[in-house]
Amino acid sequence: MIKLEHVSKSYSAGIPALNDVSLNIEEGEFVFIVGDSGSGKSTLIKLLLKELEPTEGTITINGQKLNKIRRRQTPKFRRKIGVVFQDFRLLKDRNIYDNVAFAQKVIGESTRSIKKNVPLMLSMVGLAAKYRSYPKQLSGGEQQRVAIARALINKPKILLADEPTGNLDNNNAWEIMKLMEEINNNGTTVVVVTHNLEIVKAMNKRVITMQKGVIVDDSDTASSIVTGDNAISRSLTERDVLKREGDYDYED
């Protein structure tokens, strides 16, 4: 699903930010990437999103070699990956329904589908009742849930999260991690960059440790590997949601 072969990235002369990194992440895995500040974690995420090009080596995602993707095809490629950041990056002047719906509008989804999909997704992250709220009316944990809903609404096979709990207190951090675990259990491959080693230890997943641009440890726990495609919609039917949330209409 995600394959790096001898990937290096230098921003300038001197020590490369990534130095000959080879890595394989299989479909359905949940992987933490940890390491000191400056060890290359964010560089790795940016390479996976094709925001940066490697200086050397090859990256393959979903069978697609990233260096073969033309510039005008890049947005389409990125839409296949859900991304979540530390600072949420929500649209401040839109309510949370519109924040999530926006991602569907961008790919040309019909209004009818959007009206069906967005409530389901908001329900999955536990925010169906707050669909009219604006980001500033939500707690940090809730805002991150909206960001996760937005990242997943187009059913990507991969979710990348760069310090998703960095701005959250411990309880909210745990809830977000548990949500990511649920998402992974439904078949999505999840890659999480974090400094929160307490959570990493407790979650018992594969942990890749980086130091000065190289992988210094990769502890694989095979029990965390789940196979299958993205199946959020399979596990959460419309009927489930109506049962859970009560039947109510969303505005246009």
Ligand X SMILES: Nc1ncnc2c1ncn2[C@@H]1O[C@H](COP(=O)(O)OP(=O)(O)OP(=O)(O)O)[C@@H](O)[C@H]1O
Which C-beta is closer to ligand X: that of 22 or that of 73? 22
HEC sequence for 128-163: HHHCCCCHHHCCHHHHHHHHHHHHHCCCCCEEEEEC
Which C-beta is closer to ligand X: that of 56 or that of 109? 56
Which C-beta is closer to ligand X: that of 40 or that of 119? 40
Q: Which of 6, 11, 73, 132 binds ligand X (CB under 6 A)?
A: 11
Bridge partners, residue 35, by sequence:
210
Binding mask 18-57 for ligand X (x = CB under 6 A): -----------------x-xxxxxxx--------------
- Which range binds ligand X by CB under 6 A, 10-18, 114-122, 137-145, 229-237? 10-18
Which C-beta is closer to ligand X: that of 37 or that of 171? 37
Minimum Å gap between C-beta 65 and ligand X is 22
Q: Is 186 in the site for ligand X (CB under 6 A)?
A: no
DSSP string across 11-24:
SSSSS-SEEEEEEE
- Which range binds ligand X by CB under 6 A, 11-19, 105-113, 151-159, 219-227? 11-19
The rounded distance, in Å, linking the Cα atoms of 56 and 59 is 10
The rounded distance, in Å, linking the Cα atoms of 107 and 82 is 14
Q: Is 184 in the site for ligand X (CB under 6 A)?
A: no
Classify strands 214-219 and 64-65 as parallel, antiparallel or unpaired.
Answer: unpaired
The rounded distance, in Å, linking the Cα atoms of 143 and 62 is 29
Listed residue (195, 179, 201, 188) closest to 227, CA to CA: 188
Which C-beta is closer to ligand X: that of 20 or that of 245? 20
Query: Is the Cα dihedral 226, 125, 86, 196 positive or negative?
Result: negative
For ligand X, the binding residues (CB under 6 A) are 11-12, 17, 35, 37-43
